[in-house]
Amino acid sequence: MKKCDYCAKEISYHDQYCCEDCERKTVEFHQRSERYSKMFLIVNTICVFGIPVGLFLASFSTAVGIPIAAASCMVLGLMLILLPFPTEGMIKKHKLQKAIKISRIFGGVVIGLGFAIIGLVFVLKR
C-alpha cells in the first residue's frame, strides 16, 4: 500500500494524501520552507562554524570561546525547533510529520549540548 506523504497512513494508489488537512499542512510547510530557507541557511552556516571556532578559542580563553560555542548551540537548536526543515532524504524515508518531529528533537539535543558546554565552564573553574 502507498502511504500519505504527510502522516504515513496507508492510502490508495490514486491518492497522495489521506485527507485535506494533511495536504494543507504539507503545502504550508513547503511555503514556509521557501520563505525562510535563505535565513535558515545563513544562520545554520554561522552556527555550525561558530561551535568549533568557539571550542577552539576556549583552549586559549574560556571567557571568549565558551560563550561563542554555547550561543551558537543555543541559536542553532532554537532555529531547529522553530524552523524544522528536514532534508529531502529524511522526508522521503520518514514522511513529513515524523521528519519534522525528529528535527525538533535534534534541536532540543543541540540546545542541551549548549547547556553542557556552559556546564563545562563551571567544571573547569573548580
Instruction: Tell me the per-residue pLDDT of 92-115, one tens digit each, with 9 for 90 and over.
Output: 999 999 999 999 999 999 999 999
Contact 47, 73 (CB under 8 A): yes
Boundaries of domain holding 75? 2-125
**Predicted pLDDT at 124:** 72
What is the spatial distance between Cα 33 and Cα 37, in angstroms, rounded to a whole number? Answer: 5
pLDDT tens digit sequence for 55-88: 899 888 778 888 899 999 999 999 999 999 999 9
What is the spatial distance between Cα 89 and Cα 27, in angstroms, rounded to a whole number? Answer: 18
In terms of pTM, does the model score above 0.85?
yes
**How many independent structural domains does the chain possess?**
1
Positive or negative, the Cα torsion across 97, 98, 101, 102? negative
